[in-house]
């Protein structure tokens, strides 16, 4: 299988990225999980009265994920490896939030993903929108994105390790 030479993970929603990561963690070692495999998996969940979705309760498994997978398949092909679409870093807007937490804190230890999430819930993202650091439309998906990173890496993971500027 040929891996994509560009960072295609930036083209994937946090929910789909987390679902792909979860599926990859459950796969057999020698099994290649492709976009087509993921489409079949999501379609199966949607048609099986959500039997597996109960096990994956932290994911919002819905038809929009299937639509997103179909769009990715149209662009990259159904044999593209799903692992290439897993986000291992924060988006640029979330990176700005993490940076604000790092620069705004006086704690002895660097902030974790959990601390960033707590700051976001306490109004940091609204404050950053007010300051012009974030656009109004950028803050819509940030909570889902931080939750996805926490699901993948844990609330105690150092937030600074996920900063990415494009």
pLDDT tens per residue across span 80-136: 998 888 877 888 899 999 999 998 877 678 899 999 999 999 999 999 999 999 988
Task: Please indicate, yes or no, whether residues 27 and 78 belong to a single structural domain of this protein.
Answer: yes
Residue 67, in any domain of the structure: yes
pTM for the model stands at 0.58
**Cβ contacts of 92 within 8 Å, gap of 6 or more:** 164, 165, 166
Q: Report the 10 Å Cβ neighbour count for 50.
A: 13
Task: Please indicate, yes or no, whether residues 143 and 77 belong to a single structural domain of this protein.
Answer: no
Q: What is the mean pLDDT of the chain?
A: 81
Residue 21, in any domain of the structure: yes
Instruction: Please give the residue range of the domain that contains residue 117.
Output: 92-162
């Amino acid at each position: 299988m040929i891996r994509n030479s560009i960072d295609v993970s930036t083209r994937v929603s946090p929910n789909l990225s987390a679902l792909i990561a979860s599926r990859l963690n459950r796969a057999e070692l020698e099994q290649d999980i492709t976009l087509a495999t993921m489409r079949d998996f999501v379609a199966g969940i949607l048609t099986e009265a959500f039997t597996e979705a109960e096990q994956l309760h932290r994911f919002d498994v819905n038809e929009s994920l299937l639509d997103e997978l179909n769009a990715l398949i149209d662009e990259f092909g159904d044999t593209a490896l799903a692992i290439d679409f897993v986000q291992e870093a924060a988006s640029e807007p979330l990176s700005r939030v993490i940076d604000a937490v790092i620069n705004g804190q006086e704690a002895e230890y660097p902030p974790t993903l959990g601390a960033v999430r707590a700051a976001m819930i306490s109004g940091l993202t609204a404050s950053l929108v007010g300051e012009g650091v974030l656009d109004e439309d950028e803050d819509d998906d940030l909570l889902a994105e931080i939750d996805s990173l926490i699901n993948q890496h844990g609330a105690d993971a150092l937030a600074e390790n996920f900063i990415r500027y494009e």
